[in-house]
A and B are shown apart, each in its own frame.
Chain A
Amino acid sequence: MIGKELLKVNNLKKYFPIQGGFLGRTVNHVKAVDDISFNVYEGETVSLVGESGCGKSTAGRVILRLEEPTAGEVIFNEINMTSLDKANLRKMRKDLQIIFQDPFASINPRQTVAQVLEEALQIQNLAPAEQRRSRALELLETVGLAPYQADRYPHEFSGGQRQRVGIARALSLNPKLIICDEAVSALDVSIRAQILNLLKKLQREFSLTYLFISHDLGVVRHISDRIIVMYLGRIMEIADKISLFENAQHPYTRALLSAIPIPRPGRKRERMVLAGDVPSAIDPPVGCRFHTRCPYVRDNCKEEVPQLRSAGNMAAGHLTACHYFEEINSP
């Protein structure tokens, strides 16, 4: 792996209470993230992929403590984020930033672009008042916007340009890690490529680490070093990009990969179509979360929770959470 461990997520859980009944008691929980652990190394891009509702965005928000975790810890740069008090957390926030999915909702409509960036600098006290403006203009140029656009309001920009503003805001604090929460999903395909290339360029220039949350495997393949596949709040498989795309072990990962369209007419991939829908995260299946839809399901899958593990034919760091992947994948 590349540098040192920058982010360590240990047994992270996030349950959202469901209130019901006359007195609004907690009747149940949505287990959005249920016991996930992974590491992110300095300078790499790790992707969290999965279907809608698998908990990938929640995981990102909990890591930033935009949501309080139910259990587990997030260790960033050897500091335990989960135990920080409010004041220390605010200071810490400059090292971790986030880029949101919806470029229309992620900027205050009543602030000009320059105000957005100057405020970020002001909050973390990174530049004296008289230098904030010039720093903001510099940031705009870094993300490919022109200084003359600085005094415009968000509604005067296109989606791609707004996303650039969002990136500039995240960059303004010189963070070490940026969480890209579906950062390009809302953009047109052509703009998407530009933004992805911009993110790659910035990563080289500022030695950034990305945690890239996406449901789009094409995008993930383009940008990631390592990929984490999530399903119903749990991690199914972790692998570097090449191992995952060439040598996926988990039946769920293989089903996902087989759904990527091939841009060549006439050529067909062997599709592995999953039956049914994703079960509810309120009462997730016992045992392996995937057993209700797995074509290779056996009795044991319905009882015992599979742990992440490796085998001889897999690259270092490639882990998968399936009891029977060796048998399933043997020819």
Chain B
Amino acid sequence: MSGLVHETSGVEHQPIRGASGLRIIYKKLSRNKAALIGGYLIVFFVIVSIVGPHLTVHDPVSVDYSTRLLAPSSDFWLGTDHNGRDIFTRLVHGMSITLYIGFLSVLIGVFIGVPLGIVAGYYGKIIDTFIMRCIDVLLAFPGILLAIALVSVLGGSIINVIIAVGIFSVPGFARIVRGSTMAVSKLEYIDAVRALGATDLRIIFLHILPNIVSPIIVQATIRVAIAILIASGLSFLGLGAQPPTPEWGAMLSQGRSYMFDHPHVALFPGLAIVSVVLAFNLFGDGLRDAFDPRSKA
């Protein structure tokens, strides 16, 4: 037996603590050009949302009719809107609102959806049936309609939009987490820790949750894009951010009236929404591929 101890002693590795998995993910991600661009754009947007508002020279909300509906120029980079405000300044100030809505609503979705999914997938049977039928009810509403209904009940404000979009993203998380939980619970190492006498809480938090984070991260990234889109849609319909808040969806909606004579008023907020949504989608898709063990490193 003693000879066996050195079975692998020819290859001396340094012990790696958890890093190996992340390193592989990073490697795969860095080969995916689209995902990289998405990732860099997200970093760029976050920086803009933090630093940007301190660098702009115009005021995002004060009305000045002398500069009404001006075309893009060196003074007003992206032109001005019908109230004479600089569109570029408003976009930069709106960036933090957009990200705030995106991240917070997804966080709500994660905090409600993940526990529901784990409980349903782990305990199964009647608990699973009950939770998943409730989720099905939520899913049966078209997403935007559900959000509209919630916002019209709660009243139009950014916080309510976040809550509405958050609840709207619960089913997606619950379903994905339930599936992954069921797959992981059937593995032998879960039986092994159960045979050691582990409690359900220990099994869920220490053995199931760490093994299902990757689908949750991927889903969260893609969900941010959807949340931003829906929030913009609600604001566009006048249910979200109220004027004069420089929210992109609201800006798009206001620009609609001047679309034919002054297209820049609607065009630039629209492009901003597209670029943020695209960045999150590209990055999310890249993450999904990178987490997929079948894809090559």
Q: From known contacts A100-B188, A106-B192, A112-B15, infer whether A94 and B8 are also in contact, taking CB-CB under 8 Å.
A: no
Chain B residue at smallest Cβ distance from A166: B192
> Are A100 and B191 in contact (CB-based, < 8 A)?
yes
Chain B residue at smallest Cβ distance from A92: B197
> Are A100 and B197 in contact (CB-based, < 8 A)?
no
Q: Which of A110-154 contact B (CB under 8 A)?
A: 110, 112, 119-120, 123-124, 144-146, 149, 151-153
The reply on B137 being an interface residue by CB < 8 A is no
| Min distance, Cβ B227 to any Cβ of chain A, angstroms | 29
| Min distance, Cβ A190 to any Cβ of chain B, angstroms | 11
Q: Which of A32-80 contact B (CB under 8 A)?
A: 61, 64, 66
Number of B interface residues in the complex (CB < 8 A): 32
The reply on B296 being an interface residue by CB < 8 A is no
> Are B18 and A110 in contact (CB-based, < 8 A)?
yes
> Are B1 and A93 in contact (CB-based, < 8 A)?
no
> Are A194 and B5 in contact (CB-based, < 8 A)?
no
> Are B197 and A102 in contact (CB-based, < 8 A)?
no
Number of A interface residues in the complex (CB < 8 A): 46
> Are B196 and A107 in contact (CB-based, < 8 A)?
no
Encoded as 1 (CB less than 8 Å from any A CB) or 0, chain B from 1 to 34 comes to 1101111110001011110110000000000000
> Are A108 and B196 in contact (CB-based, < 8 A)?
no
Q: From known contacts A146-B6, A151-B17, infer whether A108 and B1 are also in contact, taking CB-CB under 8 Å.
A: no
> Are B192 and A100 in contact (CB-based, < 8 A)?
yes
Q: Residues of A contacting B242 with CB < 8 Å?
A: none
> Are B195 and A108 in contact (CB-based, < 8 A)?
no
Q: Residues of A contacting B211 with CB < 8 Å?
A: 108-110
The reply on A90 being an interface residue by CB < 8 A is yes
Chain A residue at smallest Cβ distance from B2: A144
C-alpha spacing A181/B237, complex, angstroms:
62
Encoded as 1 (CB less than 8 Å from any B CB) or 0, chain A from 234 to 277 comes to 00000000000000000000000000000000000000000000
Q: Which of A194-214 contact B (CB under 8 A)?
A: 194, 197-198, 201
> Are B8 and A124 in contact (CB-based, < 8 A)?
no
Q: From known contacts A146-B6, A153-B20, A158-B8, infer whether A123 and B1 are also in contact, taking CB-CB under 8 Å.
A: no
C-alpha spacing A112/B13, complex, angstroms:
14
Residue in B13, B21, B188, B195 whose CB lies within 8 Å of A156: B13
Encoded as 1 (CB less than 8 Å from any A CB) or 0, chain B from 158 to 191 comes to 0000000000000000000000000000011101
The reply on A91 being an interface residue by CB < 8 A is yes
Chain A residue at smallest Cβ distance from B198: A123
> Are B5 and A169 in contact (CB-based, < 8 A)?
no
Q: From known contacts A105-B189, A108-B189, A153-B20, infer whether A194 and B4 are also in contact, taking CB-CB under 8 Å.
A: yes
The reply on A161 being an interface residue by CB < 8 A is yes
Q: Residues of A contacting B66 with CB < 8 Å?
A: none
> Are B13 and A173 in contact (CB-based, < 8 A)?
no
Residue in A102, A153, A155 whose CB lies within 8 Å of B188: A102
C-alpha spacing A160/B3, complex, angstroms:
14
Q: From known contacts A66-B191, A108-B207, A151-B15, infer whether A90 and B197 are also in contact, taking CB-CB under 8 Å.
A: yes
The reply on A229 being an interface residue by CB < 8 A is no
> Are B192 and A107 in contact (CB-based, < 8 A)?
yes
Chain B residue at smallest Cβ distance from A149: B8
Q: Residues of A contacting B73 with CB < 8 Å?
A: none
Encoded as 1 (CB less than 8 Å from any B CB) or 0, chain A from 93 to 106 comes to 11011101110011
Chain A residue at smallest Cβ distance from B15: A151
C-alpha spacing A108/B209, complex, angstroms:
12
Q: Residues of B contacting A109 with CB < 8 Å?
A: 211
C-alpha spacing A238/B147, complex, angstroms:
66
> Are B16 and A153 in contact (CB-based, < 8 A)?
yes
> Are A169 and B196 in contact (CB-based, < 8 A)?
yes
C-alpha spacing A169/B207, complex, angstroms:
16
| Min distance, Cβ B27 to any Cβ of chain A, angstroms | 16
Chain A residue at smallest Cβ distance from B194: A66
C-alpha spacing A45/B208, complex, angstroms:
34
> Are B202 and A123 in contact (CB-based, < 8 A)?
yes
| Min distance, Cβ A206 to any Cβ of chain B, angstroms | 15
> Are A98 and B1 in contact (CB-based, < 8 A)?
no
The reply on B142 being an interface residue by CB < 8 A is no
Q: Residues of B contacting A157 with CB < 8 Å?
A: 8
Q: Residues of B contacting A144 with CB < 8 Å?
A: 1-2, 4-5
Q: Residues of B contacting A197 with CB < 8 Å?
A: 1
C-alpha spacing A173/B198, complex, angstroms:
13
Q: Residues of B contacting A106 with CB < 8 Å?
A: 188-189, 191-192
Chain A interfacial positions (CB closer than 8 Å to B): 61, 64, 66, 89-94, 96-98, 100-102, 105-110, 112, 119-120, 123-124, 144-146, 149, 151-153, 155-158, 160-161, 166, 169, 173, 194, 197-198, 201
Provide a sorted-by-A list of 14 A–B residue pairs whose CB atoms are within 8 angstroms: A61-B191, A66-B191, A66-B194, A91-B197, A94-B196, A94-B197, A98-B192, A107-B189, A112-B15, A119-B206, A120-B196, A146-B5, A153-B16, A166-B192
Known: A93-B197, A156-B13. 8 other contacts (CB 8 A): A91-B197, A97-B195, A100-B192, A112-B17, A145-B5, A169-B196, A173-B196, A201-B1
